[in-house]
């Protein structure tokens, strides 16, 4: 595609201010000239935005969503190279009120439909999860309802996981889901998770913005409010995971490629679970300049086998868990050689920063004060349980009176390989 055609795509593939959506598809005619074909859709709906994304050429392009509130009854699913842009906080993608029902019959692997006890509230085009338990360990997969016949929901794809009769079938998928895509940019918009209208949760899969197996993707300058699960969740298949094709996915550490995920300059407020959740083998990613406030669990959670990533210059405050938690956890390798620096972790319910294992991680130049709000005197500013981190130059003096933190830094006996130096605040070192 020529540069002129790409510029035309960026300028015209957008939702116009009156709520009309223009999807642009390019075709090469016999003379070799590229022409833009415009398709006017009837309304600015979830389906219309998705249609605009689907109209992008293989190399991608930009879809602009103007100011307004758009009800999402499913996940927006960008293709490679897509940019989803809004007009700042005035562009609101709002999750629909959650519909929760139970299945009447089991769902077997390969099935493309499920018989329900009731289909009340469901509609064609909705995305749903089917899962037995409402927890993070239960495998769940999202499906799009293609039709409803009696009490039977028909899906767009075959079931990947078997589920018993009585399984929960619910809306409440991510507002934006980047599934095994490259070079996607999500910017300058608001995601309203509408959590007050949701009773069921699928944990990390129920993020406002969910990236799974994504490469070189960016989430920037967005606001995420009241998400049903996490605010932003970026996961990568762990070593040995088989894709739907049956082919193994690469181990990012072995191939020296990495995810290259950028999560920068976002405001995340009141997510039910974690504000930002990175794991499952995320490598060479950057989380920078975000403000995460009032979430139900950790402001940022290092999940499983993160490596070579940077978490810097963020503010994590008033969250229901740690400001930054889980650093070090994992399977075959744990969290290794990550940098956590220049963050402010204040007024969180537990620790400012928790280090629970891993190797070669650097935690430096962070400010942790006023934490342990749930149980004053129970949690320190920084807690090191185990691992071989370098903990250096952090300021953990409690700036409030009376003090809530147990101490500035707590170093447990299991942290025999950690190096702790030049930190400010009272240090309780059990190794001595």
User: For residue range 48-85, what is the model confidence (pLDDT) as tens digits?
Assistant: 899 999 999 988 999 999 899 999 999 999 999 999 99
pLDDT for position 375: 95
Q: To the nearest whole percent, how much of the chain has pLDDT over 70? A: 81
Kindly state whether residues 150 and 178 are assigned to the same domain: no
Query: What's the pLDDT band for 274 if we cut at 50, 70, 90?
Result: very high
Is the domain of 232 the same as that of 356?
Answer: yes
Q: Which domain holds residue 16?
A: 1-60
pLDDT for the residue 431: 87
Do the strands 223-225 and 267-269 form a parallel or antiparallel pair, or are they unpaired? parallel
Q: Which of these, 356, 345, 342, lies nearest to 306 by C-alpha position?
A: 356
Q: Compute the average pLDDT of residues 244-248.
A: 43
Q: What is the pLDDT of residue 14?
A: 45
User: Which of 60, 88, 111 delimits the end of a domain?
Assistant: 60
Regarding whether 240 and 132 lie in a shared domain, the answer is no
Quick one: pLDDT at residue 340? 98
Mean pLDDT of 370-399: 95
Q: What is residue 11's predicted lDDT score, i.e. its pLDDT?
A: 41
Distance in angstroms (rounded) separating the CA atoms of residues 6 and 125: 30
Q: b/e string for 121-144 if b means 16 or more Cβ within 10 A?
A: ebeebbbbbbbbebebebebbbbb
Q: Are both 208 and 302 inside the same structural domain?
A: yes
Last residue of a domain, one of 152, 170, 188: 170
If DSSP codes are grouped into helix, strand and coil, which group holds residue 223? strand
Q: pLDDT band at 88, cuts 50/70/90?
A: very high
**Contact (CB, 8 A) for 50 and 76:** yes
Residue 300 banded pLDDT, cuts 50, 70, 90: very high
Residue 344: the pLDDT is: 98
Q: Are 419 and 401 in contact (CB under 8 A)?
A: no
Question: What's the pTM value of the predicted model, to 2 decimals?
Answer: 0.86
Is residue 16 predicted with pLDDT exceeding 50? Answer: no
pLDDT of residue 202: 58
Q: How many residues does the chain have?
A: 432
Statement to judge: residues 129 and 257 lie in one domain: no
What's the total number of domains in the chain?
3
pLDDT, average across residues 372-379: 96
Q: Are residues 78 and 121 in the same domain?
A: no
On whether both 51 and 92 belong to a single domain, the answer is: no
The backbone torsions φ and ψ at residue 50, rounded to the nearest 5 degrees and listed phi first, read -65, -40
Query: How far is the C-alpha of 75 from the C-alpha of 72, rounded, in Å?
Result: 7
Which residue matches tokens 């996961």? 235
Rounded to whole angstroms, how far apart are CA atoms 53 and 64?
10
Tokens coding 352: 């400012």
| Helix (H) or strand (E) segment spanning residue 4 | helix 3-12
Could you tell me which residues come within 8 angstroms of residue 143 by beta carbon, excluding any fewer than 6 positions away?
Answer: 127, 128, 130, 155, 156, 157, 159
Distances in whole angstroms, Cα of residue 357 to Cα of each of 20, 388, 429:
52, 7, 16
Examine the domain organization and report whether 30 and 135 are in the same domain. no
Q: Please determine, for residue 169, whether its predicted confidence score (pLDDT) is greater than 60.
A: yes
Provide the β-strand partners of residue 263.
219, 287
Looking at residue 255, what is its pLDDT?
55
Mean pLDDT of 22-45: 33
**pLDDT exceeds 90 at position 221:** yes
Report the pLDDT averaged over residues 322-331. 90
Instruction: Indicate the pLDDT class of residue 17, thresholds 50, 70 and 90.
Output: very low
Tokens 């293609």 found at: 146
Show the beta-strand stretches assigned E in 105-222: 113-115, 127-131, 141-149, 152-155, 168-170, 176-179, 185-187, 190-192, 209-212, 218-220
**Shared-domain flag, residues 338 and 318:** yes
Domain end (from 136, 170, 204): 170
Pairwise pLDDT comparison (401 vs 137), residue with the higher score:
401
List the alpha helices (DSSP H) in 104-207. Answer: none
One domain, residues 310 and 236 = yes
| pLDDT top residue among 28 and 299 | 299
User: Do residue 199 and residue 270 come from a single domain?
Assistant: yes
In this predicted model, which residue has the larger pLDDT, 388 or 256?
A: 388
Residue 139 has pLDDT above 70, yes or no: no
Give pLDDT, residue 22: 38
Asked whether residue 301 falls in the same domain as residue 412, the answer is: yes
Look at 192-206, 302-316, 337-351 and tell me which has the smallest mean pLDDT.
Answer: 192-206
Q: Residue 25 above 80 pLDDT? A: no
Distance CA 285, CA 310 (A): 6
CA pair distance 324, 317, nearest whole angstrom: 10
The string of DSSP letters for 273-336 reads S-SEEEESS-BS-EEES-EEES-SS-SEEE-S--BS-EEES-EEES-SS-SEEEET--SSS-SB
Res 24: pLDDT: 33
pLDDT at position 403? 92
Mean pLDDT of the chain: 84
Nearest-angstrom CA–CA distance, 104 and 26: 45
CATH code, 245: 2.160.20.10
């Amino acid at each position: 595609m020529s540069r002129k055609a790409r510029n035309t795509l960026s300028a015209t593939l957008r939702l116009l201010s009156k709520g009309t959506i223009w999807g642009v598809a390019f075709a090469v005619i016999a003379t070799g000239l590229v022409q833009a074909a415009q398709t006017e859709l009837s309304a600015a709906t979830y389906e219309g935005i998705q249609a605009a994304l689907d109209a992008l050429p293989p190399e991608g392009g930009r879809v602009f969503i103007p100011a307004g509130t758009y009800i999402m009854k499913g996940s927006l699913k960008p293709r490679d190279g897509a940019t989803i842009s809004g007009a700042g906080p005035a562009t609101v993608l709002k999750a629909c009120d959650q519909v929760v029902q139970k299945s009447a019959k089991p769902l077997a692997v390969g099935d493309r439909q499920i018989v329900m006890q009731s289909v009340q509230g469901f509609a064609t085009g909705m995305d749903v999860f089917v899962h037995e338990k409402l927890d993070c360990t239960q495998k769940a997969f999202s499906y799009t309802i293609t039709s409803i016949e009696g009490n039977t929901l028909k899906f767009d794809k075959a079931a990947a996981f078997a589920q018993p009769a009585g399984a929960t079938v619910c809306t409440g998928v991510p507002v934006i889901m980047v599934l095994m895509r490259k070079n996607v940019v999500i910017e300058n918009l608001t995601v309203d998770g509408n959590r007050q209208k949701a009773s069921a949760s699928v944990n990390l899969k129920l993020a406002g913005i969910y990236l799974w197996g994504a490469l070189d993707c960016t989430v920037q300058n967005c606001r995420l409010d009241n998400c049903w699960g996490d605010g932003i969740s970026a996961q990568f298949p762990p070593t040995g995971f088989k894709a739907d094709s049956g082919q193994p996915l690469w181990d990012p550490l072995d191939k020296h490629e990495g995810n290259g995920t950028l999560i920068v300059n976002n405001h995340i407020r009141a997510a039910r679970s974690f504000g930002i959740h990175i794991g499952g083998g995320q490598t060479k990613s950057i989380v920078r300049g975000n403000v995460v406030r009032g979430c139900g669990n950790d402001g940022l959670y290092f999940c499983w086998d993160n490596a070579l990533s940077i978490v810097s210059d963020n503010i994590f405050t008033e969250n229901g868990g740690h400001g930054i938690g889980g650093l070090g956890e994992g399977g075959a390798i744990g969290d290794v050689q990550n940098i956590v620096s220049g963050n402010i972790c204040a007024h969180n319910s537990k620790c400012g920063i928790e280090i629970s294992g891993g190797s070669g991680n650097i935690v430096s130049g962070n400010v942790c004060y006023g934490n342990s709000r749930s149980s004053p005197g129970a949690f320190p500013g920084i807690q090191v349980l185990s691992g071989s981190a370098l903990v250096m130059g952090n300021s953990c003096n409690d700036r409030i009176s009376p003090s809530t933190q147990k101490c500035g830094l707590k170093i447990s006996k299991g942290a025999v390989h950690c190096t702790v130096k030049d930190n400010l605040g009272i240090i309780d070192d059990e190794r001595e």
